[in-house]
Amino acid sequence: MNEAMNTAPIIEVCDLVVRYGWATALDQVSLTVGRSEMVALVGPNGAGKSTLVNTLSGIERPAAGSVRVNGRLAHVPEGRQLFGDLTVEDNLKLGAWGAKNRDTSWVYELLPGLDRLRRRRAEGLSGGEQQMVAVGRALMARPEVIVVDELSLGLAPMVVADLARHLARLNEADGTAVLLIEQNARLAFDLCDRAYVLEAGRIVAEGPCAELATSPEVANAYLGGPIEEVS
Ligand code: ATP
């Protein structure tokens, strides 16, 4: 790998257009995720978030524009998608399918709490535990960027906060970049450095999360109104 590749953003999406038949799901979307960066993509149902993730993973093809992933990407899919009748340990190993090294011990170190579930079948776990396994399985691919689709879906706030702490630690510990796809803008803005707001297939706002959270348009639409200053 040459020097330019090493310093290039790990994800570069440029003027991306994706269509389903005549319908345009993504219209001229541009977005980057730098190495070691935590970036959020927020937007309502049907905005095109999953379409973007699927294009990054190669499931959908661009009608125009480009998508570049300059490193190993792992995806935590919406709804976890574990093998319910397999144990946690076996689900983790599937994340390194085909790799020589399928050692799981470092994942248990990074995600304390998973170890005691090691022999349990995935189908008997709580939603939060399953989400933790899904993150662990993605880590088994030793990714340089992890794309997490709807981390908070169907989970209690305390469980979400715990998972968010794990992601932040992972990012701090070895610089794994994170692209967090979320409807829960408050969580996304708390956890990430920068964010993009996607509506009806277009990026309508972007910038540091601290700035977006104080923008009246974004705050009204996604945070239940601007935070009032206490005098
Ligand atoms: P959600 O948060 O509800 O999962 P999303 O932001 O992920 O929504 P997408 O699933 O990417 O949005 O959908 C974007 C648009 O593309 C929507 O209008 C959706 O109806 C349409 N769409 C998605 N998949 C297909 C498909 N396979 N065929 C036709 N239209 C599709």
Residue with CA at minimum distance from ligand 1 atom 29: 20
- Residue 46 within any structural domain of the chain: yes
Structure token pair of residue 52: 């973007």
Q: How far is CA 145 from the centre of its chain?
A: 9
Residue with CA at minimum distance from ligand 1 atom 30: 20
- Residue 7 within any structural domain of the chain: no
Domain count, the chain: 2
Structure token pair of residue 55: 């294009």
Look at the alpha carbons of 73, 53, 111, 129 in this order and tell me if their dihedral is positive or negative.
negative
Task: Determine contact, residues 188/209, Cβ cutoff 8 Å.
Answer: yes
194 lines ligand 1 (CB under 6 A): no
Task: Determine contact, residues 194/207, Cβ cutoff 8 Å.
Answer: yes
pTM to 2 decimals? 0.89
User: Last residue of a domain, which of 123, 142, 161?
Assistant: 142
pLDDT of the chain, 231 residues: tens digit per residue: 455 556 789 999 999 999 999 999 999 999 999 999 999 999 988 999 999 999 998 999 999 999 999 999 988 877 778 898 999 999 999 887 766 677 888 888 888 788 999 999 999 998 888 988 998 999 898 899 999 988 888 778 888 888 888 889 889 988 999 999 998 899 999 999 999 999 999 999 999 999 998 888 888 888 876 655 454
Q: How far is the CA of 60 from the centre of ligand 1 (A)?
A: 12
- Residue 14 within any structural domain of the chain: no
If asked whether residues 198 and 119 sit together in one domain, one would say no
CATH number at residue 204: 3.40.50.300
For residue 167, give its domain range.
Answer: 32-60+146-231
If asked whether residues 102 and 39 sit together in one domain, one would say no
If asked whether residues 185 and 225 sit together in one domain, one would say yes
